Amino acid sequence: MSVRETDARNAHADGVERLLASYRAVPESSGVRLAKPTSNLFRPRAKADAPGLDTSGLTHVIAVDPEARTAEVAGMCTYEHLVAATLAYGLTPLVVPQLKTITLGGAVTGLGIESASFRNGMPHESVLELDILTGAGEVVTASPDEHADLFRAFPNSYGTLGYAVRLRIELEPVLPFVALTHVRFHTLDNLVAAMDRIVETGMHDGERVDYLDGVVFSADESYLCLGAQTAAPGPTSDYTRQRIFYRSIQHDDGALHDRLTIHDYLWRWDTDWFWCSEGFGAQHPLIRRFWPRRYRRSSSYWKLMRLARRYGIADGLERLKRRPPREWVIQDIEVPIGRTVEFLEWFLANVPIEPIWLCPVRMRDDEGWSLYPLRPRETYVNVGFWSTVPVGATPGETNRAIEREVGDLDGHKSLYSEAFYSREEFDARYGGDAYRAVKERYDPDGRLLDLYAKAVQRR
């Protein structure tokens, strides 16, 4: 073991001790929560009645083993730091969520997805083992063979079964560049059919596809973005300056080619928070020119949005324009690929939001995961939409309608944003019986919030 790795492991051990000490300092009558400098949740959070747990020593990469193609990572390490460490060895995590400040622990307990998900599933499927601080105040190591019930239930538990302290994950080799092909479609049927073929074969027009996602601008303008790793040298694009990635994929017909470094490909959506930076003026050419590049990133826009929501700035501006307030519709859902066109047609007809992000996913694991029961080896399509609509006659009207449509199409929705399910609906969709059994074992005194209370009731 190198001196550097020894130091990292010692630092991690110290960080775990501080975490446990902060847990023991929380009164038994108070709830337990993490003290986090960043968040990618978009649902209201109740004010805490006690200080958060000290995670300051859990933000680093502990070790990268390039021969075994694994990494040991502290639970609060961001993907930005993790990718920087693994790319030094020509490796990346099997799935790298789109935003730099997502933590590895957060992507596992709250799910994550990206353009490698059609072949590599979700981040939690590459976890070999993880240490979890449970609600009972103990750190246990969970794996397919040890505390397997907790290992299977941890994904989608959102910190209600415990917090990831350390994770050992698989890595995969990557090449220095990604050659991109943006294929335009004029019908949704053709786009989804092409996506299905690529997922099944890993090929398009005889060429290998390593990464696959897409964007829908309208019913007659949609794109698949195909990425293939390559070592061939050549010019690359830079979308951290004046050019904007999602606008670069638009063209009249056929295929458009582009090229990025593997680093810039992994973070291609972060610079403009997909397309949401437009709401802050960051896509206006003049404003963009004077907007510091270091602040053109998702974490900056998220902070601005949080301030706007806290102080009702957006609703105040709508009142000045004599318009009704807006309902936030920030969701990611998954539907079976065979129902994707139905959902998109319904969405475009009923929800005035565009563009829409598409990302196919197929779970690698045949056993399934207790709290997010997508059928193994079946292709689903993640549909992401993030904006606002005019408020309806009832609170959350549009979000409730989306929930109903997703359920009717045998799909699921992520729980990082607002949800409105009844307890019975929620339990049926998110493994209620399995969750309660694991909750009773690892959080017998209810120190951590219940998943339904956290995802639905905390408004």
Q: pLDDT tens across 316-330, in order?
A: 666 777 777 889 999
Whole-angstrom CA distances from 233 to 127, 147, 172, 178, 260 are 33, 47, 21, 11, 11
Q: What average pLDDT score do residues 406-414 get?
A: 96
Q: What average pLDDT score do residues 288-292 get?
A: 95
- Which letter does DSSP use for residue 294 in this model? G
Kindly indicate the confidence band of residue 445, based on its pLDDT and cuts at 50, 70 and 90.
very high
Question: Are 153 and 162 within 8 A, CB to CB?
Answer: no
Output the average pLDDT for the chain. Answer: 93
Q: What average pLDDT score do residues 102-110 get?
A: 96
DSSP-based three-state secondary structure for 378: coil
Whole-angstrom CA distances from 104 to 50, 134, 443 are 25, 17, 22
Q: What percent of the chain has pLDDT over 70?
A: 95
Q: Look at 10-19, 40-49, 146-155, 270-279 and tell me which has the smallest mean pLDDT.
A: 40-49
Residue linked to tokens 């001196």: 3
Kindly indicate the confidence band of residue 441, based on its pLDDT and cuts at 50, 70 and 90.
very high
Residue 411 has pLDDT above 60, yes or no: yes
In this structure, what are the phi and psi dihedrals at residue 257, rounded to the nearest 5 degrees? -110, 150
Residue linked to tokens 């929930």: 403
Question: Are 416 and 42 within 8 A, CB to CB?
Answer: yes
Residue 178 has pLDDT above 70, yes or no: yes
- Which letter does DSSP use for residue 54 in this model? -
CATH architecture of the domain covering 3-174: 2-Layer Sandwich (3.30)
Whole-angstrom CA distances from 412 to 300, 371, 431 are 29, 11, 12
| Cis peptide bond prior to 355, omega within 30° of 0 | yes
> What is the Cα–Cα distance from 176 to 187, expressed in whole angstroms?
34
- Residue 68 has a pLDDT of 98
Tell which residue, 426, 413, 434, has the closest CA to residue 453: 426
> What is the Cα–Cα distance from 222 to 340, expressed in whole angstroms?
13
Residue 213 has pLDDT above 90, yes or no: yes
- Residue 40 has a pLDDT of 55
> What is the Cα–Cα distance from 57 to 48, expressed in whole angstroms?
22
- Residue 184 has a pLDDT of 98
- Residue 44 has a pLDDT of 57
- Residue 372 has a pLDDT of 94
Question: Are 78 and 100 within 8 A, CB to CB?
Answer: yes
Kindly indicate the confidence band of residue 423, based on its pLDDT and cuts at 50, 70 and 90.
very high
Residue 62, H or E segment? strand 61-65
> What is the Cα–Cα distance from 32 to 34, expressed in whole angstroms?
7
- Residue 457 has a pLDDT of 87
Going from N- to C-terminal start, the domains of the chain cover 3-174
- What global pTM score does this model have? 0.94
> What is the Cα–Cα distance from 67 to 102, expressed in whole angstroms?
26
Determine the residue type at 207. E
